[in-house]
Structure 1
């Protein structure tokens, strides 16, 4: 903890009893705080939508890990067989086999690294899509609370629990978006076309 944060906490400690009293005596004042806080990670992992995206990522990660282990095992078996051949082959005859194996192994590992990067990119895109989808709900809830800003809870040193809107927003997102598999808005109805005049 840096000195600035420690100093802020030290300055706020004597006020904590008063803050607790203020929260008890006048909860309506806290409810209308101009600044509210949100735990973005909890919001993602606690909603049905976020859980569905996280489960999909974990399933893909497990499949890629199993594929990597299978490839490693096959390469290890092939390398042992190649080592056994080395004992009964001349260096000239063995060299092309060794070079072909190295080329194959490097190619497979490069392919798996690309898959891992693509998976990480897809995870980041999923999170971005999630927060884009919930942004209007956050904006509506912020207006209802009379707030003008939402701060990430991780950036706050000390705050009142009543200004944390994470749980309320999670419930609202679940009610509106579910697991994200269904469209949130009804499909547009085709508009009748005007009849051309003769």
Structure 2
């Protein structure tokens, strides 16, 4: 079994065992909301995708990336229309041209189309890498706030909620983390600016 799979299963077993024990020890129901300074469980959960998506930083990045994607789609459509017109013009001229001369123009046109595809594919890959870079910067900026929540709740571990099969809502700190991170870094404009 790969080490990561073992760790995930071990964390799951711990969380399943810890929830009822922690709730009973504190004399409260399992789904009671988490209170700072009073651990609902030694293990807390966090949804990292939702943390990014619902944070001011994540919303700003997604808005900027969506605008860049829309601009890329519009550019693709414009260039495709130009190439289609150029191709039709070339086809219309074919009948009155020497076949060798036409072949030179057709080959040049094919190279132009391939260059366009390569350039646009590179732009799309750049947008994807910007998204990944933004997530990396966000996690680095969010880590101190998440660590503070761990200390303040008295918990020992925070795990990704996606790897947990069952947990009480009371141990999920995602909403609390979003609020703390928004207060600390806002939309992250000083941390990362996406180029237009």
| Displacement of 1:71 | 1.1
Q: 1:53 to 1:27 in 2, by over 3 A?
A: closer
Point out the structure with max Rg over C-alpha: 1
TM-score norm. by structure 2 comes to: 0.78
| Displacement of 1:31 | 3.2
| Mapped pair 1:23 → 2:27 | no
User: Please, which moves more after superposition, 31-40 or 132-141?
Assistant: 31-40
**Residue equivalent to 1:67:** 75
Q: 1:136 to 1:105 in 2, by over 3 A?
A: same
Contact 1:141 1:169 in 2 (8 A): yes
TM-score norm. by structure 1 comes to: 0.77
Mapped partners of 2:54, 2:42: distance in 1? 25
| Mapped pair 1:89 → 2:124 | no
Q: Aligned match of 2:152 in 141, 144, 152? A: 144
Q: How does 1:1-198 map onto structure 2 within 5 Å?
A: 22-23=29-30, 31-182=39-190
Question: CA offsets, 1:135-158, max 9 Å, x none?
Answer: 111001111111121111111111
| Displacement of 1:22 | 3.3
Structure 2: which 5+ residue stretches go unaligned?
A: 1-8, 192-196
After TM superposition, what 4+ stretches of structure 1 lie above 2 angstroms from structure 2? 19-28
Structure 1: which 5+ residue stretches go unaligned?
A: 184-198
Contact 2:45 2:159 in 1 (8 A): yes
Q: How well do the aligned residues superpose, as a CA RMSD in angstroms? A: 2.8
Q: How many residues matched?
A: 170
SS at match of 1:22: coil
